[in-house]
Amino acid sequence: MKETIIQTLKSNDFKISIEDLAQKLKVKDLFELNQDLDSLIHDFKIIKTQNQNIYLLENSKYKAGTLKMNPKGFGFVNDLTQPDADDFFVPPTMTNGAIGSDVIVYQVSKGRDDKIFAEIIEIAERTKEMVIGEIVKSRDGQFLDFIPTDLSLSNFRVVMVNKRDFELKPNMLFKAKILEAKDRKLFVRLKKMIGDSTKAADRILSIAEEFNIKTEFGYKTIKNAEEVNIPVIKEQDEIKRREKTSLIDTMLVTIDGSDSKDLDDSIYVEKVKEGYKLIVAIADVSHYVKPRSPLDNEALLRGNSTYLANKVLPMLPKILSDDLCSLNPNTEKFALACEMMFDQNGNLISKKVYETIMISKARLTYSEVNEYFANKHWTKQPEVAQMLDVAKELYLAIAKIKAANGMINLDVREAKVVMDKDSNVLEIKARETGESEKLIENFMVSANEAVAELVFEKELPFIYRNHQKPEESSLVEWYATIKSFGIDPKLTNLEMIDPKNLNKTLMQIDNQISDPISNELLHLSLLRHMEKAKYGLENVGHFGLASKCYTHFTSPIRRYSDLMVHRYLKQYIIQNEKRDFILQSNQEFINKACPIINETEITSVDCEREVVKVCMVEYLSDKVGRIFDGTISIALKFGFFVQLENMVEGLVHISTLGDCLVYDEKLQTLTKPDNTFYRMGQKVKIKLAGADIKKRTIDFELVK
């Protein structure tokens, strides 16, 4: 059937409607036809449009791609069948009602001046359904206009078809549904008033709306949360059931950031005859959030909590995330514990999982534990300090083994935004990572590995956190880049993909590159050559953590994957539930859930980065004209980005650097005709030329 479809398209000038195709093929089973069409679409042989037309892409005059729009009205489109090929220019008159991020069908033509351009024929898919915008007065002051925050739409005149439904005022932020783009007009329907653009908190919220991240919970979800909000003390039957495995009297503590409210992990460490006992007790969210309940459905759609500077958009309503499930101190809580035994050298000897009840004996912060490790300054219970000493011993032993196994230790800072009570940016600084953060991360990795192994050994359907090996060619490219910095570990291509050699190379960078920012940028550059970690049914291991088997178990308050893991641990390990129809149902659900939570994770990360970027622009908005010292973080075709000491980053555009610059893509270097070059790690002095909050851009100029 597939070959017949392709031949039919060829004989019909590479295009046909689905209706005509069905008639020509005399197909009665449309379901079967659509299955074949979907298979051909998946293989990039054909594409289907919104108007139910089919276009042949293979050996055809038609191409398909994703449109990127410039604010000036022109665009560029790639070729889905040749992802590495150059993009084609789309003139403003050839967009045919398409907007940025649309998947489109196009033809390539040659103009009178022999320049090649693309003409859009049809829209295959509109991926952008909503737009965020601000209400502003028109230039003559007589009207109120909707100005999109998405700059790719700024060349359109926006027509609000239902503006009379709202009492519009300047500075209002709205979310609107895109109806149609036609003749440089964008028709939208106002759906939701987000807030006031003059308020920083509302601007941050509007970014979440841009990414379609839910900012409020529906009635059914809130009602369900209220129904399950039963204090532990009132669940006497459940308490009795967990008595044999109770950790009420165990010195469990939480260690988190000082501003954290969703405390979902706690630890306890003691020295034993064999070596060390580590208990990682995690909030038992699955006790309250039942499969297919409104809470569960909402949590799956959100996938995870999103952290926006000083605001959290939680996966679960706050009465659960900050109270009922959170391991707040001196309060009885239900938990799921992973108990591990290690020998004196930090090797895992045994592991088990059980339901329990616990009381966190102390709510510790990273900063106070770091202070204790550094200076032995302590004001809380002395027995907690004694336990921390043992915990540090175990952490260092485990870390030594992980490093020997090839766990990649990238020492990379993150930007921290400091705000006032009204969400105005006061300061941007690097988020410091000390021994306590590394200790907790180490113990959480150990617990994640242990529970993944428990299920993997039983060969049962499970959700894994996979991080595949990087492509050999990608790592070879990274090694070529660092050679220009004098880092040459002299490895074969095969040796380059061994994580142990990657660690040795990172240590070589640490020894040879004394400047901390340049050192960090080289560490960070490795990340760009690595695969992204994803959730999946099949276990392929975690390359970065040197784990043969890995999952996410430790954060069920803020990650849906961990909630799933808790449910399967209870079924398989605690209840010994392994009936075939249950296993089949679990497998089907894992295959359904993984694409959703992989996507929501990417969306949240992108949103969080955008918020930090906007905060950086706001921080610099009153500093235009000032001179700064910075470090080039990356050089690209269109200029180079410069990072300041506080991690704020801006662009020095190529147009400000003179003419005839040449870009070396492999070495990521921009070179001038006089052989002056710009590359990652170089120290430069720059002037802040602009910080545009509406455009979300920071522009630097080189100071000679």
Q: Is the Cβ–Cβ distance between 391 and 438 less than 8 Å?
A: no
pLDDT at 273: 95
pLDDT of residue 86: 87
What tokens were used for 261? Answer: 């409210």
Partnered with residue 255 across adjacent β-strands are: 364
Q: Are strands 172-182 and 265-271 parallel, antiparallel or unpaired?
A: unpaired
DSSP three-state, residue 295:
helix
CATH of domain 130-198: 2.40.50
CA distances to 14, 51, 360, 571 from 283, rounded to whole Å, are 58, 50, 11, 17
CATH number of 1-60: 1.10.10
Return the domain boundaries, the chain: 1-60, 130-198, 219-466+535-610, 472-530, 622-702
SS3 string, 550-592, reads CCCCCCCCCEHHHHHHHHHHHHHHHCCCCCHHHHHHHHHHHHH
Identify the pLDDT of residue 593: 97
pLDDT at 387: 97
Q: What is the reported pLDDT for 495?
A: 85
| 1-60 and 622-702 in the same fold | no
- According to the model, what pLDDT value does residue 641 have? 96
Contact status, residue 269 vs residue 278, Cβ threshold 8 Å: yes
Q: What are the tokens at 493?
A: 């291509």
Sequence-distant (≥ 6) Cβ neighbours of residue 477 within 8 angstroms? 529, 666
Q: Which residue has the tokens 């010195």?
A: 251
Burial class (CB in 10 A: 0-12, 13-18, 19+), 151: middle
| pLDDT mean by block of 10 residues, the chain; 704 residues | 89 92 84 87 92 92 94 92 89 93 94 89 94 93 92 91 94 95 93 92 93 95 97 96 97 95 96 97 98 97 94 96 97 98 97 98 96 94 96 97 89 88 90 92 98 97 96 87 85 84 88 86 88 96 95 98 98 96 97 97 96 94 95 93 94 92 87 91 95 92 91
Pick the CATH number of 622-702 from 2.40.50.140, 3.90.1150.10, 3.40.50.300, 3.40.50.970: 2.40.50.140
Q: List, in sequence order, every residue forming a beta bridge with 2; answer none if it has no partner.
A: none
**Exposure on the CB side of residue 619, measured as CA atoms within 13 A:** 23
